[in-house]
Amino acid sequence: MAVDTRFYASLGALTLESAAALTGAEPVGDPNTPITGIAAADKAKPGELAFLEGEGAGLTSLSPDLSVLLVSEAIRRRVADGVALLVVKQPRHAHNVIARTLFKPRHQLAQTRVAISPDAKIHPGAELGAGVVVGAGAAIGEGTVICPNAVIGPGVQIGRNGFIGAGTSIHCALLGDHVTLLAGARIGEAGFGVTPGPSGLEDAPHFGRVILQDHVTIGANTCIDRGVFADTIVGERTKIDNLCQIAHNVVLGRSVIMAAFGGISGSVRIGDGSMLGGQVGIADHVNVGAGVSLAGAAGVLRDVPDGETWGGTPAKPIRQWMREVAWLAKQTSAKKRD
């Protein structure tokens, strides 16, 4: 997916040669190869740059349209001919440097002193409370209520009959109709992407979006991070409680229920109609099927098939978990009698 310029300002383009000079990488290929965008290695289009880390996981799924690939010396010879390369010790760090040279989130650019941008499109039937800020290019639909001190970032689109609670902030996001955000929700901030650099740990930039489909409800002080390259998506009629964390690139299906204090790590997939109890935690890249129930405080470390009920940490099928809890209680009681 190309970077959405409603949310990210283009700062110009690079060539293979200039990108090499910027990062200290060794260029391989035509020095005039243009770099105009960034993407995941399996989704890149012409002109887009991607990276591979480690031992080259992902080499077999490279996009055939990829223009430039950042790699380490260890895997450069395993890349097929025809792909321009930037060979560098820390490919992800170099990618971060180039990405920040190409794009900048519009909400991080200097803003005017006007609270409501003249370039915003606000339906006459929408209601805005005191202290609301609306950025350039944002759109707010008919019947939507924006409560005091909410911040609607540049380019954000909000559909009809929504409710945006007091003190909420929304960046890099598209909201459908009848979406409810309770007070203090944070939508579209960067996720917890950390990468090593020459001087220590660095924050990895995020250039994706958040998409909240129709009739979604997000609880007070819940945070939903935007994606790295792709989108974080919350499906129709999904209901998320207060004080939850949803990381970058997560996809929730339709009519998912998530109780308070839950945490979902990056790139998790959750199927339609699943129910997550309070304090559920899910590790990154896990797939949870449709119609799944997760007991309160479950710690999910592996994929869960459709329709199953799991509990415990590490989570497992509920009957197995209950048998193990009962056995442990029995052993403890026996020890006390001894």
What are 134's two structure tokens? 């609306």
What are 254's two structure tokens? 């339709």
Q: Which residues contact 64 (CB under 8 A, 6 or more apart)?
A: none
Which pLDDT value is given to residue 338?
66
Task: Output the 3-class SS for 19-63.
Answer: HHHHHCCEEECCCCCEECEECCCCCCCCCEEEECCCCCCCHHHCC
Residue 1, pLDDT above cutoff 80 = no
Distance, CA of 223 to CA of 239 (rounded, Å): 13
pLDDT in tens, 185-201: 999 999 999 999 999 99
> Could you tell me what percent of the chain has a pLDDT over 70?
98
Distances (CA, A) of 316 to 174, 319, 323, 325: 36, 8, 11, 12
Phi, psi for 277 (deg, rounded to 5): -70, 175
Which pLDDT value is given to residue 251?
98
Active site residue 248: yes
Which pLDDT value is given to residue 58?
66
Do the beta carbons of residue 287 and residue 268 sit within 8 Å? Answer: yes
Distance, CA of 142 to CA of 119 (rounded, Å): 17
Provide the 10 A C-beta neighbour count for residue 110: 4
330 burial class (0-12, 13-18, 19+ CB within 10 angstroms)? exposed
Catalytic residue among 171, 178, 206, 248: 248
Which pLDDT value is given to residue 59?
78
Distance, CA of 310 to CA of 302 (rounded, Å): 11
Helix %, strand %, coil % of the chain (to 5): 15, 30, 55
Residue 57, pLDDT above cutoff 90 = no
11 burial class (0-12, 13-18, 19+ CB within 10 angstroms)? exposed
Average pLDDT value for the chain: 95
pTM (two decimals): 0.94
pLDDT in tens, 215-271: 999 999 999 999 999 999 999 999 999 999 999 999 999 999 999 999 999 999 999
Q: Which residues contact 12 (CB under 8 A, 6 or more apart)?
A: 101, 102
If phi > 0 it is left, if psi is from -120 to 50 it is alpha, else beta; for residue 301 that is: alpha
Cα three-residue angle 186-191-193, rounded to 5 degrees: 165
**DSSP for residue 224:** E
Which pLDDT value is given to residue 257?
98
Distances (CA, A) of 206 to 104, 106, 337: 10, 12, 58
